Amino acid sequence: MANRKATTPETKDAIAWSADAGNIPGGYGELLEDLKARIRAARVKAALSVNRELIALYWHIGKSIVERQRTAGWGKAVVERLAADLQDSFPGLEGFSARNIWHTRSFYLAYEPTGRKLKQPVSELGREKLAQPARESESAILPRPVSEIPWGHNIVLLQKLKDPAARLWYARQTVENGWSRAMLTHWIESGLHERQGKAVTNFKAALPAPQSDLAAEIVRDPYNFDFLTLRTDAAERDLERGLLDHIRKFLLELGSGFAFVGQQVHLDVDGEDFYLDLLFYHLRLRCYVVIDLKARPFKPEHAGKMNFYLSAVDELLRHPGDKPSIGIILCKTRSRVIAEYALRDLTKPVGVARYKTRLVEILPDNLKGKLPPVERIKAELAGADEPRPKISSVRSVRRRRKGEIMNGPQSPNRLFDYTNQ
């Protein structure tokens, strides 16, 4: 007879429980969630570790090539032979094409330790935001943010940015916000590092640290609403409608952390009705953000109105755990001096920023606001393939209506004027 292992009480309990899957012991759910969280964290750490090793490998390849070019005079043919031999040695393994090997050389040169302080236009790129990345490149062979982003992101930084401090700024933002390569490209092309934190605000005076610093980072100037096409005479409602029609792109431009609460949010103050253009809640700052839209230049009275709105929101909507609400006045243009004077003695945290829309901003002044809407242009193009009337019939219509066309409401000057339609 085969030997049998002794059955302990614990084994009996395990067998009994496995036979009855519905009888889950206490604490099982908590253990399962804890293990799932640990597994996810381990996978993230493993991916980061692999990425760091890959970036370090590319750094070493680039360094080796640069050193031999300087000491042994290696030329283009030798480097491309090296790429071919590496591909033969590791068939099917990506990353060793001649093009990518040249990228590794550029990568090393971009962050090559020189012992000298980075020379970047700090005043143009933002003193506070770019000073820290600049110091990182001096204290380490390879800046940490650069080693934590994928290789494809690093190539984008190399191809689109010349300034080392700007590259490090975008690398840090990529790590913090989890940007994809397409998103990184978008923010670089929109000049985010030149816009973020550039609005006129009174945050340092109205908010305690570090809330004031965090609040300053979420406000940009100007906001780039290139997904909107507005005439120069567009009203606030047109701007509001356009932003909400493109709410996903609007939230993208506002930045991470903004959660949309509502439009034309009603406030009842002492029996009178007031309406907020747009109301958001910022998840990182833990506060409401009121946005007031102005399709005209900033005026000092706009700041007083926003101060009133924020007082009402803090009284009527703010929860005990929320931070003080913040106001952003989005206007077409603004004088920095006037905005600074208007905000100087306000008790509530307010920022004043400009916005830009596409098309109308790049047209000559005499054409702004005179182009037909995009939908009308699309409709005209869609009908381009329809059969055209015979020339004789068009001429006959013109002859019959000659007097009406020249003297009536459909004069030649109005035949292609869609501005009022």
Spatial CB neighbours of 151, under 8 Å, sequence gap ≥ 6: 51, 54, 55, 58, 95
Of 3.40.50.800, 3.40.1350.10, 3.90.1150.10, 3.40.1050.10, which CATH number belongs to 200-357? 3.40.1350.10
Cα first-last separation, the chain: 97
Between 104 and 221, the more confident residue is 104
Locate the domains of the chain by residue range. Answer: 37-110, 122-195, 200-357, 387-414
Closest of 313, 316, 321 to residue 289, by C-alpha: 313
Ranges 138-142, 173-177, 260-264, most confident = 260-264
Kindly state the tokens that stand for 102: 């040249």
- Res 74 pLDDT > 90: no
Ranges 108-117, 137-146, 274-283, 384-393, most confident = 274-283
- Res 237 pLDDT > 70: yes
User: What's the chain's average pLDDT?
Assistant: 77
Confidence band of 252 (pLDDT split at 50, 70, 90): confident
| d(C-alpha 99, C-alpha 102), whole Å | 5
| d(C-alpha 263, C-alpha 244), whole Å | 9
Judged by average pLDDT, the poorest of 87-96, 144-153, 392-401 is: 392-401
Kindly state the tokens that stand for 113: 């330790």
Query: Exposed, middle or buried, 282 (CB in 10 Å: 0-12/13-18/19+)?
Result: buried
- Res 133 pLDDT > 60: no
Answer positive or negative: Cα dihedral of 386, 391, 393, 399: positive
Q: Are 293 and 277 within 8 A, CB to CB?
A: yes
Closest of 129, 178, 293, 156 to residue 225, by C-alpha: 293
256 φ, ψ (degrees, to nearest 5): -70, 150
Confidence band of 160 (pLDDT split at 50, 70, 90): very high
| d(C-alpha 289, C-alpha 318), whole Å | 11
Kindly state the tokens that stand for 299: 């005026």
Spatial CB neighbours of 214, under 8 Å, sequence gap ≥ 6: 284, 285
Q: What is the pLDDT of residue 339?
A: 93
Closest of 8, 153, 164, 142 to residue 62, by C-alpha: 142
Task: State the Rg of the chain over Cα.
Answer: 31
Q: Which helix (H) or strand (E) holds 330?
A: strand 326-331
